[in-house]
Amino acid sequence: MTTTVAIAGATGYAGAEILRLLLGHPAYLAGELKIGALCGHSNAGQKVGELMPHLPQLADRTIVATTVENLSGHDVVFLALPHGHSARLGQALGEDTVVIDCAADFRLKDKSAWEEYYGGEYAGSWPYGVPEIPGHREQLKGTKRVAVAGCFPTAITLGALPAVAGGFIAPDLSVIAVTGVSGAGKKASVSLLGAETMGNLRAYNPGGNHRHTPEIVQNLSAFSSSNTPLKVTFTPILAPLSRGILATVTADLTPGTTPEAVRAAYLDYYRDEPFCLVLPEGQQPETHNVVGTNMVHIQAHVDTRAGKLIVTAAVDNLCKGTAGGAVQCMNLSLGLEETAGLPLAAVAP
């Protein structure tokens, strides 16, 4: 039996990355997965070869309009669209279709948080697409609906989760995360021009204003044993990189926490997770070591003088942070090997 896959937003960065991964997927190579409708908006009618020459296998395919009709009839539909555009399509597709949304439309469980950070009509929530969060893998197996996590929340959640769950830190996290420009999507913007970004670093949406803040809080609060609500102050920084996120999470240590206990907890937490690598002591995550992979590289360091825990985590925002996470969830939904088609090794140098 052949599984058919369609992509809405196929010519964007996330959509193109999904295609790159699917073209190397064992099911595709065996003829058991077929890439169907490739949908776009402004690019409808153009050839893939004109728009994405890095995908030669699809060069002769034509981008079609993003409509329910073009997406219907496929076994799996990836929605790689801007926030606020997925809900209508996702709700219109049949219950037998696996719909995997890479936007934020179905991530938040709290309606008030959606209204505060995104606005518009609240569409509800779907199973959340980070299998490494305890309990989520079971929810994703066989599901027909998936809300893929944001790129920042993927890195920050997986970096901080063992410390929060282990009670090693106070529920008050300070996060600074450096990101490449592809995280803003494939749209024309003066602030993303090469002349504006090269040789420059710029913080944006600080002070709890970034839309991924409630998602991070939602993820980590579920594992906090503190009687005090978990708080996150999050400052993203735009860097002259095409891909990559390096997140640094800092929090006060709880009394009695030792470096040995933290190290052991992190190693144990991710011992059986193929995409989470706790680096050897003294080695720090670097974005170039995860480019093109579905990996999260993590390090936890105890600053005994300051009484702080500093966690660093690196991901490729387009792979593990979006498209790789989406394909990982597709694998779980379809009963395939979870790691199928997902690279572990980065390109170096």
Total length of the chain: 349
Q: Which of 151, 276, 319, 329 is catalytic?
A: 151
CA dist 202 and 178 (Å) reads: 9
List CB contacts of 259: < 8 A, sequence separation 6 or more: 302, 304
Is 151 marked active-site? Answer: yes
Catalytic residues: 151
